[in-house]
Structure 1
Amino acid sequence: MKKLLCAVLTIALLSGCSVLEPLTEQEQLSQQTLGNLSPAALRLMGNENIDIDHDEVMEKYRAYLEVSTDEELRIRTHHRIANLRLQKDEFILEGGDQSDEASAKVFELDAGRESIADYEKLLAKYPDRNDNDLALYQLAKAYSLAGEPFETIRVLEQLTELYPRSDYYLESLFRLGDIYYANGVYDLAESSYQRLIIRGSEGNKYYLNAMYLVGWSQFKQNRYDESLLSFTSVLDFEFPTEETITLASIGQQSMLKDILRIMAITFDYQGDWENINQFYAGIGRRHYEHRIYETLASQYYNKKYYKSGASTLRAFINRYPQDVLSPVFYQRVVEGYTKARYPTLLRKHKKIFVETFGVGGEYWENHTLAVQETIKPALSTYIWDLARFNHAWGQRIKNGKEKKERLQEAIGWYGEYIRSFPDAEDTAKAHFLLAEVAYQTKQYPLAKDHYEIVAYQYPDYEKAAESGYAAILTYSKHKPKKADKLIWRQLTVASAMRFVQEFPKDERRGQVLVNTAEMLLAGQYYEQALVTANLAWESEGNLSARHRYGASLVRSHSSFYLEQFVEAEQAIKEALSYDKIKSKSRNDLREKLAASIYKQGEMAKASGDNELAVKNWLRIAKLVPESDIKVSAEFDAATLLMAAEKYEQAVPVLLDFRKAYPNHRLVKDIPSKLIVAYESQENWRSAAFELQKIWQQGGNKEQSRIALFQSAEYFEKAKDLDNALVMYKRYAHDYKRPFNPAIEAHHKLDVIYLAQGDDTKRLFWMNKIVWLHLGAREDRTDRSKYLAAKSAYELAENERIKFEKVKITLPLDKSINRKNKRMKAAMERYTQAVQIGVLEFTTSATFRIAELYSQFGSGLLASERPAGLDELALEEYGYLLEDQAFPLEEAAIEVHQKNAGRTFDGLYDQWVKKSYGSLAELMPAQYAKYEKQVSYVDAIR
């Protein structure tokens, strides 16, 4: 009896744990639709093995009933037996005693049946007991175990109706809601959850889950507005502040994520992002409102609805333009278009971002430094991207108007970057690029300002010196109004001198000094110009020959105007040493040299040093013999000697003057007049020699060129072919332009060598004619085309003759190689003649090409056979030759056909006719009656 009592107490203790355990928050949140009522697991005390099973315990309870007389204990024992039976069923379903697959299938059909009968019997026998709520609870559990949800609902409804104060009331309502929900009866599920909510949150562990599931039930009934309000109530209850979201557990975070997801879906069902605005405009703002916009946007982005995602984010921004999240959301808009590869929208929204959140704007001014710092990275990136894009587009595009607009926009964005981020690491680069674009668009004042900023405010920037130099060049490009010219020149000089001072080691320092000296000279600041030019002259290692020449010019002119004539003479001589001076400039310099020397003579005379004056004046004839000043100088020297009664010295000067310069002003015209005289007498040879002298004297390059060509023509007219060849060859070697006389000179050489019978030299010049024409491009003329085609054809004919002389003999490999080489050379020339495109030579060259193939093939077939071959071997050898000759014959046919096909273009000359003749021999079946076919074609036309 003691053993039985212990067993009963143990079972009573164990069965007291046998209640339905509520799902955890995480389990609830992980289900979008709730399943059937879940059975509660039996909790064992400790890990020790219990040798007694359910049947044994129930048998002991039955034994107890046989001896027990206490009615209350008997009722409780019946309850314990029913509970144990239910526990046994649960244990088996969970893989306990009867885990065998066949047994389990049998059990599944009867699970809970005996327990149901036990509880139904107890409830029927004892309908008024106060603890019948537990019996009903367990009965509902048994029905659930038996897979009878509607019976489960009936029993739970009975429990909640009869026992509103039962410990199982709240759970039963929750289980009712679960079963209704799982079976798609969403209105009754909602009702059950609402009854739970009405009981309030205090002591109600199902309160939050019921609120959550009410929202789901309403959503399933398509009552979207009510569903949104229910979910909002959950969020308000569980997450009253932003901090509660930050500190939320994993389960809470999962619930939050799920609610945000379904609310976003609901708003999408109702229309779009605008419904979010309308909803919260009605119920008031929530601190988590932005998360719904973000969730809906993410859903759109996941579906690759990039525009919808962007519109959702922008809806929040438009609703709360001053919210700290607005720039963050707009960055997501930009990221979305970046991912979508929508370049136009991407640039558009980068621009809007800058306009909305840019430095100095309303948003910027309304927020703290901390918020501003979060915007800066995106702001700087977007501005820079917009600037670089418009810069690159402007560089690439051809349309003038659009090019200007793009570059101007680039200037605006570079300026915006500089204004927004004056202390950024790449602000110097922005200044530099702005200056470059401004320079390109000829906004020179703007360009020079930014070049100077880079040069002198960012001296450590890698392009500081380059910018300083660019500023100087920019000054020179600008053409200010007349009233501003003086100020602009002064600014230019100041910028140049600043460059020299700030970058003393720059290799362009000397050049800048020269340019500055030239500007000072142009402004008639002779003393400053002279000082600056002398500084440049001292920078010898940094001056090119061109700039040393410039420095010499400034020194000479400044010294001359300052009446420092000795210094002027020296500087002019230095300038004249420059070998790239134009003729006029050189002449002007030499005239100024003569003037400087003459002025020295005047100053010597004024000081009473007549001997020095005469010496200077006579020097002019030696140093500048072509100068007109020398005439006056020598005459003045003679006059001075005469005035000084130094007759012995004056007479030789006068005699030399008369002898050396009797017709000084006319000397330069003598050759041209002699030429005219010789021409009128048809004394072509003498005229040619005078022309030759003009060419030899140099001077005017164009005049020299014309004289050279005309000299050759006149030698040819005079039958002096040797001199004509010399002059034509000189012209052909020295002048490739103008093109027409150049090609004629080459042709003349061809003609003369033809007349002299010098084929080797003639071939050389015909080749030159071809390449001169081919290299002329746009300068080509019909004349050059004809001469080139003719020359190419005659060169080809020469090669053809060589080809025909080569016979195919044994050993074949050597003779074939020789013949093939000649054939290739001839074909290249004929092809060249065809490509030049003169019909006279096109048809003949095409015919010759075809005949080359044909002759080569015929030569192979007729070639010498090796000795010692029997009849079969000779036949095989013949077949081999035919195999080699066949492609050549095919090629000949193809080329002849091409030539013959020119009849369709209206061309039919002797060479086309010959091609038809060759085709008649090569393909008699098709072309033997070609004349009739041609006549037929002609008749059609």
Structure 2
Amino acid sequence: MNRQFMRRLSLAVILISAVPGGSVAAQESFRVELGRDGETLGDMRPVFLKFESRPLPAISPKEVARRYQKLFEKSDEPEVRIDALNRLNNIRDRSGQDIGFSDEQQSAVYEEALASYESILARGSFSGKLDELLYQMAKAHALTGQHEESIQRLRQLMGLYPRSSLVPEARFRIAEAAYNAGEYQEAETGYRQLIEGDGHQDLAMKARYMLGWSQFKQGPAAWNRSAETFMALLDQHLPSEATLLDPPHTGLDMIEDSFRVLALMAARADNSATLAAWLGNRAPVAWPHLLYDRLADLHALEGRFDLAVGINQAFAGNYPEHSAAPDFLAQSVDYWRMAGDTSKAREARADYVARYQSQPKFQELRGQQQALWRDYSRFLGDYHYAAQDWTSAAGYYEVLAGHSGDTGKLLHLAGDARLQAGNRNKALENYRSAAYGARGGGQQRYPDAAEAGWAAIKVLKSTLEESAAGAARGVLAELSSEEQQFGKTFTQDPRLSGLRADLANRWYEVGAYDEALAYARSTLVLESAKTEERYATWLVTARVRQRTGEFGLEERAWRQALLLVDSEPDLATTPDEPEQIREQLATAIYRQGERAAASGDTAVAVAHFQRVNSVVPNTEIAIRARFDASNALLKASEWQTAINELNRFRLDYPAHELTEEVSEKLVYAYHESRQPLKAAGELMAASERAQEPWPLKLRAAALYHQAGELPERNALYMDWLAVAPDPDAAADHVQQQTMRHRLIESGVDSVRQQKAMVTREAASQWHSEETLLWAGKAALALGASVAQEFAAIRLEHPLERALERKQKAMEQAQAYFLEAESFAGETVASEVLYRRAELYRTLAADLMASEVPSELNELEAMQYQMLLEEEAWPLEERAMELHSRNHGRIASQGFDEWIGQSLEALAVMHPGRYDRELRWMSWNMEENEGA
């Protein structure tokens, strides 16, 4: 809408003279100012209209007027004077200049002219046209205040000269006189006749204008006719959009007055409904919005703002696609502001914004309308923001952002409002768009884009803090993605380092070590990273490396963290934090030592273990590291170095629990380094401290045995066998029997040990080939010893007693021999047979050689001797039998010394059979077969 034109039509003050020269009263001119030309509708007056006919002369109008004026004053001829006066008036009208006679002079001039007119009419002779003379006479009467006479002359002109060109103007003057006299129906008839006749077009238009006024003056019953007349007039003056922009200057007053009267009639009727009824059945025209606007202004000027707004709303509703519709809605805002109703003004703004917020609708707005839409949107957004109506504020900011060059700032505000409203997802969307998607008209990034991006990060961090454990990882991934976008876009932002350090910690907490390590690295490469951020990042790096077993890198991270916290103690969150870091550093070094030891890299392992003490001297881990260094040396078979380290460890930490293990490790080292005596000595020393010393002493005994230190060994054997419990396992039985065997071999308490060996073997349920053999030999030795005792018993008188003693000795020897055979079997069978046979042979020989009682006579002595022979003979036979059995073993077992001794015995006992030279030959089957 051309609002400048509307205001021009509404408020212009127009003063138009009807005929130059005459009095003010005769001119009938009016000020057309709404509200000032009458207190009632009946007081309202139309604009007075000018009439003109001829073209001006080529010379100066002022000079021509001067000559006609001089001619009028000097001439005595009525025709000349009248003609001069007519021409003078025409020149004044056409030029628009104040020339000729003054207003005061004109009254006197026309008084004189009337006499000339009367004289000419009386003579009946006039060189000009009589209709013109009548017209001029009517005009002179009008100028001199003789209105009735003026009308009579005009009626006379119409009656005498109905075809005169002056008839239309005369008719107009007659109708005008009726109008001025309040005879509006007569005036309507006159104006209508003029319009329907063949009058001049300009005069017909003026008549139409006055026709509308004549109808208006007749009251509401004629207003519909008046409205149609004024609208037809508007159709003629404003037929197109082009004429709205450049209306005809000559008709501007009539156009304005037409709108004024139409608005007034509608205001006194049914307002917008009346306008809709008037316009509804007419063909579309270009000017209805001006009429609606005039009606709205009328109500607004008279303080009826609600009605004025209603008119605006009605137009926007009836003509929603009209380009002026937005202006009407905007005008409603102005009206409510004029009324002082801020709430209604705000609602009007909201209505305006809502109607045109879609992209297609917004694009239909003209430039100023779009600017106004933006102003309203921003106003409403700011208002709701201040009122803490966050959702509404955000909505306005978001819509405005789509139609503004300040998109980033608006979306930032929208994000803040959405966040306040609790809509984090929408806030995130707005912040992200403000930070990364918004550009101004010059494609420049929003100046505070970094702040918007940071706001999105803060939203995600807040969401992360409130997330349940199961959802935290997903939010953390989203936060990381946001950080990557922020870091890529705002590479120099000083907050990046803190954010990345925080993300490193958070990823570590959820067990995502690769992500934690990546963020730790990205923090440390930033020159802007603060000391506390570097410190936190090194801590995360150290913990990740610890988790992944990268102990060398872990050590480096702990060292960096320790350097920082030592230089700035305030970095520590607890007083003991630096000490904890040192312990972690020591542990990392220790783990490297363990790994190197496991891989067989002893030198590296020992070096790592020994470095621990330099970090945390004499702490538990340092002590264990020294101990493990010794173990590594042992594992690497570096015996002497390990021995030295172990001895130093025992000297340095005599009360430490690990010191209890040193002795065992030294024993191992001594043993492996072929120092059994030192190993045995270590065991003996340890046994003195042990609650159960014998396991250590027995091991020492074994080492003494290995070293050939038999006295020390045998002493331990003797002590142990003196207190050892009965064996409850095969190993215990074998161990004890072995000790007895070795004691027997060493000649230490042999008989007792032999007896114990035999007894234990006979009673035991566990046997081995060795123990059985040892027991068998012990039994043989015992039997041989008893056999010597048996042989030494002389058969003296009383023979029975001596024989009884000898018999017991023989039975005991026999028992040992049989026991030996039961233990050792074939191994000792030849010797057992031999020794058993010898017992019989010895007893037989001793019987034969026994002393004959002295009290016997010779015969008795011979009988006694024969009796002894009878007793000795079975014994000798038994001896021969046993030796023969031994001899028979040659075929199955081969020849041995005990079979040989049996053969020697048989040769003595049976020389005819066995006393011969023998030659033992080996038998070779292959040689014999080839012989």
Give the % identical residues.
23
Relative to structure 1, the CA distance from residue 481 to residue 285 in structure 2 (aligned partners, 3 Å threshold; closer, same or farther) is farther
Match of 2:762 in 1: none
Match of 1:547 in 2: 533
Deviation at 1:472, TM superposition (A): 3.3
CA-to-aligned-CA distance 1:266-321 (integer Å, 9 cap, x gap):
32233433322222124454321111112233444555655444332222111111
CA-to-aligned-CA distance 1:116-156 (integer Å, 9 cap, x gap):
76478569x99xx9987556545434432442223333443
Relative to structure 1, the CA distance from residue 205 to residue 383 in structure 2 (aligned partners, 3 Å threshold; closer, same or farther) is closer
Match of 2:229 in 1: 230
Alignment of 1:732-811 (within 5 A): none
Equivalenced residue count is 594
Task: Tell whether the 8 Å contact from 2:237 to 2:248 is kept in structure 1 after alignment.
Answer: no
CA-to-aligned-CA distance 1:858-889 (integer Å, 9 cap, x gap):
xxxxxxxxxxxxxxxxxxxxxxxxxxxxxxxx
Deviation at 1:326, TM superposition (A): 1.4
My pick for the range that moved more, 575-584 or 205-214, is: 575-584
Deviation at 1:553, TM superposition (A): 0.9
User: Which of these residues, 452, 456, 474, is aligned with residue 459 of structure 2?
Assistant: 474
Task: Tell whether the 8 Å contact from 1:267 to 1:275 is kept in structure 2 after alignment.
Answer: yes
Residue type of the partner of 2:574? S
Aligned equivalents of 1:486, 1:244: Cα separation in 2: 70
Match of 1:217 in 2: 214
Task: Tell whether the 8 Å contact from 2:228 to 2:278 is kept in structure 1 after alignment.
Answer: no
Q: TM-score, normalised by structure 2?
A: 0.54
Q: CA RMSD in A?
A: 5.1
Alignment of 1:486-565 (within 5 A): 486-539=473-526, 541-565=527-551
Match of 1:410 in 2: 393
Match of 2:584 in 1: 592
> Where do 5+ consecutive residues of structure 1 fail to align?
1-18, 62-79, 398-402, 661-941
Aligned equivalents of 2:69, 2:632: Cα separation in 1: 155
Partner of 1:324, secondary structure, is coil
Task: Tell whether the 8 Å contact from 2:299 to 2:307 is kept in structure 1 after alignment.
Answer: yes
Match of 1:431 in 2: 411
Partner of 2:498, secondary structure, is helix
Aligned equivalents of 1:40, 1:22: Cα separation in 2: 16
Aligned equivalents of 1:610, 1:38: Cα separation in 2: 128
Relative to structure 1, the CA distance from residue 482 to residue 98 in structure 2 (aligned partners, 3 Å threshold; closer, same or farther) is closer
Task: Tell whether the 8 Å contact from 2:30 to 2:47 is kept in structure 1 after alignment.
Answer: no
CA-to-aligned-CA distance 1:528-558 (integer Å, 9 cap, x gap):
433442342233x311121011111111101
Alignment of 1:133-152 (within 5 A): 133=131, 136-152=134-150
User: Which of these residues, 566, 573, 576, is aligned with residue 582 of structure 1?
Assistant: 573
User: Which of these residues, 377, 380, 383, is aligned with residue 386 of structure 1?
Assistant: 380
Q: TM-score, normalised by structure 1?
A: 0.53
Relative to structure 1, the CA distance from residue 233 to residue 534 in structure 2 (aligned partners, 3 Å threshold; closer, same or farther) is closer
Deviation at 1:477, TM superposition (A): 1.7
Relative to structure 1, the CA distance from residue 135 to residue 254 in structure 2 (aligned partners, 3 Å threshold; closer, same or farther) is closer
Task: Tell whether the 8 Å contact from 2:357 to 2:399 is kept in structure 1 after alignment.
Answer: no
Deviation at 1:517, TM superposition (A): 2.3
Task: Tell whether the 8 Å contact from 2:114 to 2:140 is kept in structure 1 after alignment.
Answer: yes
Task: Tell whether the 8 Å contact from 1:314 to 1:330 is kept in structure 2 after alignment.
Answer: yes
Alignment of 1:244-259 (within 5 A): 244-246=243-245, 248-259=247-258
Alignment of 1:261-300 (within 5 A): 261-300=260-299
Aligned equivalents of 1:585, 1:246: Cα separation in 2: 86
Relative to structure 1, the CA distance from residue 462 to residue 628 in structure 2 (aligned partners, 3 Å threshold; closer, same or farther) is farther
Match of 1:451 in 2: 431
Match of 1:165 in 2: 163
Relative to structure 1, the CA distance from residue 137 to residue 240 in structure 2 (aligned partners, 3 Å threshold; closer, same or farther) is same
Match of 1:933 in 2: none
> Where do 5+ consecutive residues of structure 2 fail to align?
1-17, 33-44, 439-443, 636-641, 660-931
Residue type of the partner of 1:314? Q
Task: Tell whether the 8 Å contact from 2:215 to 2:226 is kept in structure 1 after alignment.
Answer: yes
Deviation at 1:170, TM superposition (A): 1.6
Match of 2:329 in 1: 330
Which protein has the larger Cα radius of gyration, Structure 1 or Structure 2?
2
Aligned equivalents of 1:549, 1:658: Cα separation in 2: 37
Aligned equivalents of 1:295, 1:227: Cα separation in 2: 17
Task: Tell whether the 8 Å contact from 1:116 to 1:142 is kept in structure 2 after alignment.
Answer: no
Aligned equivalents of 2:394, 2:69: Cα separation in 1: 91
Residue type of the partner of 2:517? L
Match of 1:319 in 2: 318
Match of 1:197 in 2: 195
Residue type of the partner of 2:142? S
Partner of 1:507, secondary structure, is coil
Task: Tell whether the 8 Å contact from 2:46 to 2:210 is kept in structure 1 after alignment.
Answer: no
Task: Tell whether the 8 Å contact from 1:20 to 1:39 is kept in structure 2 after alignment.
Answer: no
Residue type of the partner of 1:500? G
Partner of 2:294, secondary structure, is helix
Partner of 1:287, secondary structure, is coil
Aligned equivalents of 1:135, 1:614: Cα separation in 2: 144
Residue type of the partner of 2:378? W
Deviation at 1:231, TM superposition (A): 0.9
Alignment of 1:704-743 (within 5 A): none
Relative to structure 1, the CA distance from residue 519 to residue 311 in structure 2 (aligned partners, 3 Å threshold; closer, same or farther) is same
Deviation at 1:653, TM superposition (A): 2.9
Aligned equivalents of 2:103, 2:421: Cα separation in 1: 90
Task: Tell whether the 8 Å contact from 1:36 to 1:144 is kept in structure 2 after alignment.
Answer: no
Relative to structure 1, the CA distance from residue 247 to residue 514 in structure 2 (aligned partners, 3 Å threshold; closer, same or farther) is closer
Residue type of the partner of 2:427? A
Match of 2:649 in 1: 650
Aligned equivalents of 2:597, 2:102: Cα separation in 1: 141
Partner of 1:250, secondary structure, is coil
Residue type of the partner of 1:270? A
Residue type of the partner of 1:407? W
Deviation at 1:448, TM superposition (A): 3.5
Deviation at 1:608, TM superposition (A): 5.5
Residue type of the partner of 1:412? G
Relative to structure 1, the CA distance from residue 627 to residue 200 in structure 2 (aligned partners, 3 Å threshold; closer, same or farther) is farther
Aligned equivalents of 2:138, 2:436: Cα separation in 1: 90
